[in-house]
Amino acid sequence: MVDPVIVGVDGSGRSLRALVWAASDAARRECPLLIAHVLPAWEFDFPFFPPGRSQGLSRRGAEILAEAVAIAKESHPGLEVESDQVSGSPAEVLRAATERACCMVLGARGEGGLGNLLMGSVSLQVAGHAACPVVVVGEIATGHGRVLVGTDSSEHSTAALEFAFEEASLRGVRVHSLRAWSMPTKPEPSEDGPGPDEVEAEQRRQLDDQLAPLRHRYPDVEIETTLVRGKPVTELVRASDRADLAVVGSRGKGGFHGLALGSVSHGLLHYGICPVAVERPPQPRHTPSA
């Protein structure tokens, strides 16, 4: 069975944009689209919850799903579309759903939470713990002809490159691989260390080594590389203005291993101009017990 693209919807404008993005991605992948709506379980457990309110939320959820299914089928005739409504914690339900998805797509912020937050807590939690790539859609970007990917030498970066090349191949566009670097800190101020030219040359070598197997596997994908001295999140946010999709690993080389999301992925999710995909190295998937 082919894993579906799963998209979470809640009736908000941002989730509608996520739906449009997900339907297009499923059509490109020639896989099913599963549209999910989560009814927050805590609302039903609240002691002063008005009688009949739960049934009203369920009916509204069914309406949201019906509208979303109609939009997906109208925009992509022939696309296999299914829907599902589940009660529970939105972050936990959607995170669990990534176990059976090839890609999870979410809006940058939904109907829940404080309106002044740039990034919804559900999107952040799912992106940090997912078993598949998670794409967070704020605004849909098209026409730039490139998938941007941030790289370093980490395992997370390698996973991000894999997803970026896959998406670029499906779209028929180029990959823009961006690596930002800085001078290493000297153990002692008086000690000599490598100069900027040496550091940049080593960064170039590492980038070329990282790209070599993907050049071989995706000969149809044109590669654009940028090596820049600067802060990764700043350079990636700036470059996201010229990309249809930005891809980043959940954590980089400098991240604290206890954190689900590193500063670069967190910053790009908050401030990226285009949809942002967060990829983690392959995770063991839980299989239901017999």
Q: In the chain, where are the structural domains located?
A: 5-137, 146-251+262-279
CA–CA separation, 117 and 52 (whole Å): 31
Helix axes 53-75, 13-29, angle to 10 degrees: 40
Element (H, E) at 117: none
What pLDDT was estimated at residue 218? 98
Examine domains 5-137 and 146-251+262-279 and report if their fold is the same. Answer: yes
pTM, to two decimals: 0.87
The band of 213, judged by pLDDT with boundaries at 50, 70 and 90, is very high
- Residues 268-286 pLDDT 10s: 999 999 999 999 887 655 5
The band of 113, judged by pLDDT with boundaries at 50, 70 and 90, is very low
What pLDDT was estimated at residue 139? 84
Does the pLDDT of residue 86 top 90, yes or no?
Answer: yes
The band of 154, judged by pLDDT with boundaries at 50, 70 and 90, is confident
Q: Which residues contact 113 (CB under 8 A, 6 or more apart)?
A: 120, 121, 122
Q: Which residues contact 118 (CB under 8 A, 6 or more apart)?
A: 108, 109, 270, 271
Does the pLDDT of residue 92 top 60, yes or no?
Answer: yes
Side-chain-side CA neighbours of residue 236 (13 Å): 32
User: Is the domain 146-251+262-279 a CATH 3.40.50.620 member?
Assistant: yes
Does the pLDDT of residue 81 top 80, yes or no?
Answer: yes
CA–CA separation, 229 and 252 (whole Å): 17
Helix axes 121-129, 263-271, angle to 10 degrees: 140
Task: Tell me what the mean pLDDT of segment 138-153 comes to.
Answer: 91
CATH class, range 5-137: alpha beta
